[in-house]
Amino acid sequence: MQMSSKAGRRFFLFSGLLFLFYSLLLSFASISTGGAFVGYELVFLGSTVMCFCLSYLYPQFKENDERSKRIREKGMFVSYFFILGYMVVLMPLLYFEIIQLSGYQTVSLLATLTIITVFSSFVVLSKRY
């Protein structure tokens, strides 16, 4: 059974709102307990951006035609260099202790940046192609 374009967009929009609620709730809980962010709050925020981007892209990606494949290809290619840039910036910041993050926080930050970069690049490239 195939999902119609409106139903697919609504699903991703609803999921994005749900993830936004979760990320705000978890961030508020972290702040109110006096602790710093744990890491999973950022992953929920990245999932929020991903769902909103997929809501926008659903009509184009459901076709799985040459255009959507090209958008995915180019998006992954561009994202690769941004992700390398994030790592190049994070390494000296962590090494010189300008920022102090645990291993879990660092991986969560990189995962969030990766999710946001990949899906944002899909949206930008969908307007270009």
Distance in angstroms (rounded) separating the CA atoms of residues 53 and 121: 10
Smallest CA-to-CA distance from 57 within 99, 5, 114 is with: 5
Tell me the CA distances in angstroms from 123 to 40, 53, 73, 90, 117, one per residue in order.
24, 7, 13, 25, 10
19-58 residue pLDDT tens: 999 999 999 998 898 877 888 999 999 999 999 999 999 9
Is the distance from CB of 125 to CB of 75 less than 8 angstroms? yes
pLDDT score, position 2 = 56
Tens of pLDDT, residue by residue over 8-21, are 999 999 999 999 99
Instruction: Report pLDDT digits (tens) over 74-89.
Output: 999 999 999 999 999 9
Write down the domain spans for the chain: 5-128
